[in-house]
A and B are shown apart, each in its own frame.
Chain A
Amino acid sequence: MHISEGILTAPVLAGGTVLTIVGTAIGLKKLDYDRIMTVSLLSATFFVASLIHVPIGPGSVHLLLGGLLGLILGWGAFPAIVVALCLQTIFFQYGGMVVLGVNGCIIAGPAVLCGLLFKSMLSGSKKKQMVAGFLAGFCSIFLSAILMACALYFADSGFLQVAGIVLASHIPIMLIEGLITMFVVTFLLKVQPEILSINN
């Protein structure tokens, strides 16, 4: 999910950077600073989750856990993911500093969106909570893959071909992330619902 340097065109890089700056600024403004350690720990979780390589499908994909971050942190997921992406670039040479904006936008954007979309379902029945967890994990990867295909489309030709490859390679990870997010969310709702800002 990390686009490398030297692939994207300048307008895409500029657009991604602007969106990421805006998203991070909103995230920092809306961040509850009393939960800063939760943000930090989830950022660290995202930082290392990308090292879990899933050897299924035609490409090489890894965990992101964006949906989980979105559900727990809301807009706060944006700065948490961007900081972790920055450190991944420094320590693991994933992506690059120039493409940090685009990568941030691709990963953090859907994470926040899914968090905001499915959060309300967490107050419902247990079945609804499980569905919300699964959908948050599944859809965050799905939307990230679509955004990635859009970014690559401007650098390459044939949106459908690029989108097909990106989506096909991410289908296993969509399902895996859906399941992981579902289990983690249901576990948290059982033992520590206040983490998700839900008071059962």
Chain B
Amino acid sequence: MSIRLLFLSACLLFIPIQAEAHKIHVFAWVAGDTVTVESSFSGNKPLLHGKIIVKDNTSGAVLLQGIGNTKGIFTFIVPPEARAKKADLLIVVTGSDGHQSEWLVPATEYLLEDSSQVAEQHADTISNAELQLMIKKIVEQELAPIKRRLAENRQDKPDLRDIMAGIGFLLGIAGLVIWMRNRKAKGAATDD
């Protein structure tokens, strides 16, 4: 194989290393009793009007469904039946062009928020309860971007290692085929 072909192929192979993945990225975070779902394509391009289905992860029963807005955001309040069953919420987001992704919100995430509400109910005085509510709201507000960032970081994105491993696999398969053919040819030559 000529050096020119190798050079051309190498050019084509290494162009996209800085490029990004192509699939729907979904992440969801809990703030209070509200779950926010954010869906986007690569390059933080929002998924327009994606179809969102929230299921009970154990039974697969559909708890609620809706459509994301133009910013790819969909918010919902944790359904009472999910809270009663302490069910993990499986959020399935489907785009119009055949793409689909999932995100799991474990029950512990929203039940943790719920327990703080119980503490609020047992407050000694109204002023204490009000103070707790205020603190809770402020903390939630402050934590929302951090929760979003944490959720975002949980996503699997292709990195250089994946890309190089894939290329290695393909070249390895070719090497294996060449080796097998050479072995076969040698075997045939020895038989003769």
Binding site for B on A (CB under 8 A): 2-7, 33, 36-45, 47-53, 55, 58-63, 65, 83-84, 87-88, 90-94, 148, 151-152, 162, 165-166, 169, 184, 187-188, 191-192, 195
Is the Cβ of A4 less than 8 Å from the Cβ of B100?
yes
Determine the chain A residues whose CB is within 8 A of the CB of B20 once the complex forms.
Answer: 51, 53
Is the Cβ of A91 less than 8 Å from the Cβ of B174?
no
Judged by DSSP, the binding face of A is helix
Q: How far is the CA of A92 from the CA of B96 in the complex (A)?
A: 21
Is the Cβ of B9 less than 8 Å from the Cβ of A41?
yes
Selecting from B40-48, B117-125, B142-150, the interface stretch reads B40-48
Is the Cβ of B4 less than 8 Å from the Cβ of A192?
yes
The answer to whether A87 and B1 touch (CB under 8 A), given A53-B20, A148-B98, is no
Chain A nearest CB: distance from B67 CB in Å?
A: 15
Per-position binary interface string of chain B over residues 23-63, scored 1 when its CB falls under 8 Å from any chain A CB and 0 otherwise: 11000000000000000011101001000000000000000
Is the Cβ of B163 less than 8 Å from the Cβ of A51?
yes
Contact of A38 among B5, B17, B169, B178 (CB under 8 A): B5
Nearest B-chain residue to A164, judged by Cβ: B96
18 A–B contacts from the bound complex (CB under 8 Å): A2-B23, A2-B98, A38-B1, A40-B170, A41-B6, A42-B9, A47-B170, A48-B167, A49-B16, A51-B22, A55-B43, A55-B45, A59-B95, A59-B96, A91-B158, A92-B23, A93-B156, A162-B96
Determine the chain A residues whose CB is within 8 A of the CB of B42 once the complex forms.
Answer: 53, 55, 60
Q: How far is the CA of A106 from the CA of B103 in the complex (A)?
A: 27
The CB with the most chain B CB atoms within 10 A, among A5, A151, A191, is that of A191
Determine the chain B residues whose CB is within 8 A of the CB of A195 once the complex forms.
Answer: 5
Nearest B-chain residue to A60, judged by Cβ: B41
Determine the chain A residues whose CB is within 8 A of the CB of B1 once the complex forms.
Answer: 37-38
